[in-house]
Structure 1
Amino acid sequence: MNIVKLAKLFTQAGSLLFLALMILLVPISAQASMTINQLQREGGVEITSWLSKGDNASEPAAIREQVILYIEVATPRWFTGGTRISGFGMPDLIVKQRNQLATNYTERKDGQTWSRQRWEITLYPQQSGEYRLPKVPVRVQVSAPDGSNVSGTLYTEPMSLFTYLPDASFTQDEAWFSANHVKVQESWSASSEDLHAGDSIVRTLEVEADDTLSIMLPPLSDDSIAGVKAYPKPSVLSDSQTRGVYKSKRVDEVTYIVTTGGEVVFPEQVVRWWDVETQSVQTVTLEAKKVRVAHTWRSLFNTYKTEFVILSIIALALLLVLRLTYRFFKTHPTPPWWELAQAIRHRDWPSVRRLIYRKGRQVSGEVELKKMRSDASWQQASQGVQDDRLDASQSRCMWRQLKDPKPSYLKHASPKAGSPKSSFLEHSASRKSESQFVLKGLDRWRKPS
């Protein structure tokens, strides 16, 4: 019996011990199941957010201006794990978390020391108007009052960002930007001092600015240049953050190969931006550059290929004409006008008189020079011929006044029958007899000595 009673006592004691343990474990389980939202409601953690500017429609931010979204998480105890901010995206809005580290500090509030983390997200609006920023998820882990770790996701309040076009001269297609403390540098280098076709020229543009993004800085102009082939290198983009200042840098380098000689003009480069600090439009103009390039034989031909072809055709045509002319005069007598020109050139006035008289006789059939034409100018000129007062202009004028019929030698030269040589001999005999007749006529005009 005693053994049975002892067994009952042990059973009752075990039940009481089990109930006591259950009572102790209930609040611990309740505390362990506390969520981050419960902790936030009880004041164990809080989250706030605000914009550096543009949260008011009366004071909007400029398009392409850097706006900072601040997110601050605080707890009256301490953070027991890393904080992670989820990214978000919106049309026409560039969102970047350029600073991966938070600003940690403490603050006394209602007699308690609060641990705070301040995070920064940079925003770059591309259009004017209102952006409705969504709730941003923030993953945190903090210490609860009972010493346990509570983790979860907090959300910022939605807010609006207002933007405007800072100046009417800016267009969406233009590569302008908004920034502070802008520096623009340009450098040139050539493969040789005396440039020839085939040499290279390297142009480098470096733009530095604060409070912007490197991808928003303007590149080198890609306009085509006559006589030049461009080979751009990939742009070197860098973004950094130093002591709360966001810095950006863009370096563009283009190698130009000059393919032709002459003057090559590289166009000017204009860099424009909205200065946030001074609230004004700033412009830097990199002036156009002119270089002289010497031709090589190959570049000279490539440049003037069409002209060379045309000149070659003209030269061949001239050679053909000269050859035909040479062959013509080899088988035909010298034209009278050519004989006259040569006689005037050598001031052989007797020959000039003979040629004029011969042409006048052929035209008019008259033997005397005065009877060949009846106008006063001819009479005066013919008197000058008789008085040996001939000159070049008078001789040419008399020659033109005589209408030139078809020369008789052309009739003899036409190869109707026989060889060209026989025709030429017959014509020579005819000219010889004609010259003797002319000389007889001129003897009557000579004055007695």
Structure 2
Amino acid sequence: MRFLLVLLAVVLALTWAGCGGDDADGGAVAGTRATVYSSMPLEGPDAVAALDVVRAQRMALRDAGADAGRFRVELVSLDAATPEENRWDPARISENARRAAKDPSAIAYVGEFHTGSSAISIPLLNEVGMLSVSPMDTAQALTSRNLAVPDSPAKYFPKGKEFGRTFARVVPSDRRQAAAQIEYMREEGVRRLVLLTDESPSGVGYVMAMRPLARAAGITIVGREDVDPHEQDPRDLVEKVTQLNPDAVFYAGDSHEGIVRLWQDLSVADPQLKLFAPGSLADPAFVEAIGAAAASTYVTRPVLGLRAYPPAAQRFARRFEQEYGVAPQPEALYGYETMRALLAAIETAARAAGDGPLERADVVRAFMATRREQTVIGDWELLPSGDTTLDRFGAYRIVGGELSYQHPLLG
């Protein structure tokens, strides 16, 4: 259901983007004040991590004295969730992107948090030539081809001929996460694998990426089954899976009530069966709901444990805890580095502009040329696609009802 809402929102966004209008037009930010918009889900199961991303963005801005060249930079934090949904809301993300697109002082947009949700905001911002950067969205189709999303990633850039690609991310994509999943399975001795997918395009992307990787790792994919997100009784599917005699199952898709029941029933049907999931599935609500099946669950996430990051991250974590009274979620590191890299790009573009207006296109070009060293997330740079060179994922288990970082995986 959430994928269908996202799809509808994307269609509306692309329709709006193709209609033109009297909004900002991809030109310049005049004066000496520039605004960066942040869109994060500040309500619902991911609110703690998302709030830490925003807090880290503010820390990065303060560390820079709120300046980038001659420009005073202001951060405007917008909520991507609603109380009614109690999680991220496609309609709210669309509102956030439109607000940024209409603001003549806006120079960049930081969002979104959840996998695939940036598909809503990217076309709206590309219409006005504005840079959008996600600290956490791993969806493959945003930067590379996914057969489940026709004309991806070009479809997200309605004014691509005029402005080029205006989206980048700081975390590695699901294409790399597929490799991390296979590595995790190889470590756990998996030899026979069943792939489960729902109606979301991420599932097809994972299947395409994982088939050759599994073959190279000596893992045989013995079956692929579709999951109906509306099915509340998965007994028939569980029987199909167990008859294939796998030693592991990988589910690529969205979290919903039906998948919780499926997870539990698979665990009961075969207590030795290993259940693998990407980070987009294992939100706090899912982790809490699956109960005893947690002992069979293996998760990859695009973030590591805090102590797995370089010394700069440890210094950041101490400062964060002193200021806010709690240790940061690892997602905060990506919020901090996103803002640091963005400010560096604005400064580069402002320096090139001299006393003239700050061109959004120049900020896009400066950010796409990002190369960073000794940061809180390590050394990294952007590829022409908008993907990062970062390639590590975290291997997680569920301990005491919470995701627990185990070790890094190469994506």
Same fold (TM over 0.5): no
Using structure 1 for the length normalisation, give the TM-score.
Answer: 0.17
The structure whose residues are more often strand, as a share, is 1
Q: RCO (CA 8 Å, sep 6+): is it higher in 1 or 2?
A: 2
Greater C-alpha radius of gyration: 1
Using structure 2 for the length normalisation, give the TM-score.
Answer: 0.19
